[in-house]
Structure 1
Amino acid sequence: MDKLRAMQTFVRIVDKGSLTAAAASLGTSLPAVVRTLAALEAHLQVRLLNRTTRRLALTEDGRSYLDSCRRILATIDEIEAGLTTRQVELAGHLTVTAPMLFGQMYVAPAITRFVQRYPAVHCSLNFADRVVDLLEEGVDVGVRIGPLRDSTLIAQPVGRIRRVVVATPAFLRKHGVPRHPEDLTRQPCLRFSNGNPHWWTFQDDGRVFQVPVTGNLEFNQTAPAVAACAAGAGFGHFLSYQVAPLVAEKKLRIVLEDYELAPWPLSVLYPHARMLPARTRALIDWLKADLAPRFP
């Protein structure tokens, strides 16, 4: 059995939603697709798809195997594309999405450098604090923070984003450095009106817990909250990238590191790996190289 061909066939069946459509797109016969799937399931000794006369549904093993197949096929595509991308004149249009503040702080500067390097490429940047559907909205590349739920996308891990508590050195000298999250209950904290403004979440040896926080400043946007924190108005609870420049300049200091929640993944996403345009592949590699050193 040609394992690579079997993986490609399985992924195509899932993407097309039927054996018949998969056969047509692969330029082969329906019996050939059926035989390939049967041979693959026999080789793996698991059922990958539940089949009825009307629909196909992935089994739990099928979902896991699908993710692995996509990663393997994407890696093969990257190897092959890497041999040719350098020879190709990059040109055309790309649409990129990212969370609002992260996009402004990190993605926009990276893409500015990218289009300066490849002036025939035109990039449209769409920054929004919502989960953008790359397929529905015609987006070529997305940058996402947090768990990934859409298995139809290819995700390239880039780094990690911590959730940190910070304050100015002057504020800490005046109010003291907290040793435990409970110490925050007696201090002014900068809160957000969205989400759960009265509680901050931490963990200790895997045990997740919340502490109540109070303060006389509440925000619905991150940037002014960071500015208030940098002005010494209280403790702030932010994603690490939001305060990274101020921490690097020692204008803010991270506290309670031992109680931070597990970091969130930072990923570069794209809808599919097969036959990616050279400009898309180049941008993905550019973003990974630019962002990875900043968020180890």
Structure 2
Amino acid sequence: MKTTLDELQAFTAVVDTGSITAAAEQLVQTASGVSRALSRLESKLDVTLLRRTTRRLELTEEGEAFLAQARRILAQVEEAEEHMALRRQKPAGRLRVNAASPFMLHVVVPLVAGFRERYPEIELELHTSDQIIDLIEHRTDVALRLGTLRDSSLHARPLGRNRMRVLASPAYLAAHGEPTSVEVLQEHCLLGFTHPETLNHWPLRHAQGDSLQITPTIKASSGETLRQLALAGVGIVYMSDFMTQADRTAGHLVELLAEATREVHQPINAVYYRNTALASRITCFLDYVSQSLKDEDWLQVG
């Protein structure tokens, strides 16, 4: 980048104050220094930004266009500096976090002790909901959401992606046999969600397509309830890796129909409203979560 921030500041200060002398006073510089910075900027851009008369300075058409960009750049730099200043301070105060109950139990709760040790003055409030909530209505500062985000005015920070698999316990398979094809799956006890209905569309390739809409034998609103049912040998489930990584490693759940399963990855995002007073707390929390999860086998980033 040829242009420097000092040159942008000199240019905008001259425009705002109306003269090089006044701009120099505002920037605590010499008038000759401001004049040289302005000349260098015009030389680098190969345009005239200001017409100089004996009585005043006037923006050219090119100057008008460049001024808007210069102000935007300086504002972004200022915001970045404020952000770092906030991070240097010791963050404190209440932070209300919302997530679906399985994500809260399996992902967030194991991180709380370490987070509290690092940021003892942040007062965490952990709320769970298996449905998407209105952050303002529920007085929530940041929500951790799985799946594709709806269009909204919320700011979103991607945390990674999570794979889902078709699973059953060894006890269920010993009692009912392992399904050898997608076509015979409906003969088994299938565990599904009451909502959203899209979670009952399993990405399994079969003769009629590459997705199977199951008819659950048992439905539940919570993924954790379905996990417990699967562990108890009740039926077959389609579930997230973040909930079942340890179960699969221990052999308590077994993946089924792997060759027929299309890989589906749920995006995981943190959503929040921009709020300067909360920025430090939210950033600290999300940075800690991201850093803590980076080595988890179930999380895919990028």
Q: Distance in 1 between matches of 2:160 and 2:203?
A: 21
Corresponding residue number in structure 2 for 1:27: none
Q: Distance in 1 between matches of 2:159 and 2:191?
A: 30
Give the C-alpha shift of residue 158 in structure 1: 1.2
Amino acid at match of 1:96: V
Give the C-alpha shift of residue 198 in structure 1: 12
Give the C-alpha shift of residue 144 in structure 1: 0.6
Corresponding residue number in structure 2 for 1:181: 182
Corresponding residue number in structure 2 for 1:209: 211
The answer on whether the counterparts of 1:163 and 1:260 sit within 8 Å (CA) in structure 2 is no
Deviation digits for residues 5-34 of structure 1 (CA, Å, limit 9, x no counterpart): xxxxxxxxxxxxxxxxxxxxxxxxxxxxxx
1:291 paired to 2:290: no
The answer on whether the counterparts of 2:169 and 2:231 sit within 8 Å (CA) in structure 1 is yes
Amino acid at match of 1:134: L
1:249 paired to 2:262: no
Structure 1 pair 235/274, CA: closer, same or farther in 2 (3 Å)? Answer: same
Q: Distance in 2 between matches of 1:244 and 1:166?
A: 11
Give the C-alpha shift of residue 99 in structure 1: 1.0
The Cα RMSD (Å) is 3.8
Amino acid at match of 1:159: G
Corresponding residue number in structure 2 for 1:113: 114
Amino acid at match of 1:144: R
Q: Distance in 1 between matches of 2:212 and 2:78?
A: 45
Give the C-alpha shift of residue 96 in structure 1: 0.9
Structure 1 pair 179/82, CA: closer, same or farther in 2 (3 Å)? Answer: farther
Counterparts of 1:82-101 in structure 2 under 5 Å? Answer: 83-84=84-85, 87-101=88-102
The answer on whether the counterparts of 2:182 and 2:204 sit within 8 Å (CA) in structure 1 is no
Structure 1 pair 291/197, CA: closer, same or farther in 2 (3 Å)? Answer: closer
Q: Distance in 2 between matches of 1:78 and 1:96?
A: 25
Pick the structure with greater CA Rg: 2
Structure 1 pair 276/288, CA: closer, same or farther in 2 (3 Å)? Answer: same
The answer on whether the counterparts of 2:167 and 2:253 sit within 8 Å (CA) in structure 1 is yes
Counterparts of 1:4-15 in structure 2 under 5 Å? Answer: none
The answer on whether the counterparts of 2:169 and 2:233 sit within 8 Å (CA) in structure 1 is yes
Consecutive unaligned residues of structure 1, counting only runs of 5 or more, are 5-34, 44-68
The answer on whether the counterparts of 1:200 and 1:213 sit within 8 Å (CA) in structure 2 is no
Deviation digits for residues 240-296 of structure 1 (CA, Å, limit 9, x no counterpart): 323232112221112223424622101122212767532221111112222343312
Amino acid at match of 2:211: F
Give the C-alpha shift of residue 118 in structure 1: 1.5
Corresponding residue number in structure 1 for 2:284: 282
Name the SS for the 1:162 alignment partner: strand
Give the C-alpha shift of residue 238 in structure 1: 2.0
Counterparts of 1:1-296 in structure 2 under 5 Å? Answer: 80=81, 83-84=84-85, 87-172=88-173, 175-194=176-195, 200-204=201-205, 208-213=210-215, 215=217, 217-258=218-259, 259-260=261-262, 262-272=264-274, 277-294=279-296, 295-296=299-300
Structure 1 pair 211/88, CA: closer, same or farther in 2 (3 Å)? Answer: closer
Give the C-alpha shift of residue 189 in structure 1: 2.4
The answer on whether the counterparts of 2:130 and 2:222 sit within 8 Å (CA) in structure 1 is no
Name the SS for the 2:245 alignment partner: helix
* Count of residues paired in the alignment: 230
Give the C-alpha shift of residue 204 in structure 1: 3.7
Q: Distance in 2 between matches of 1:77 and 1:281?
A: 17
Give the C-alpha shift of residue 166 in structure 1: 0.4
Give the C-alpha shift of residue 80 in structure 1: 4.2
Deviation digits for residues 163-200 of structure 1 (CA, Å, limit 9, x no counterpart): 32101234445655445322312323234455559964
Consecutive unaligned residues of structure 2, counting only runs of 5 or more, are 6-60
Q: Distance in 1 between matches of 2:95 and 2:154?
A: 17
Structure 1 pair 77/210, CA: closer, same or farther in 2 (3 Å)? Answer: farther
Structure 1 pair 203/118, CA: closer, same or farther in 2 (3 Å)? Answer: same
Q: Distance in 2 between matches of 1:223 and 1:156?
A: 25
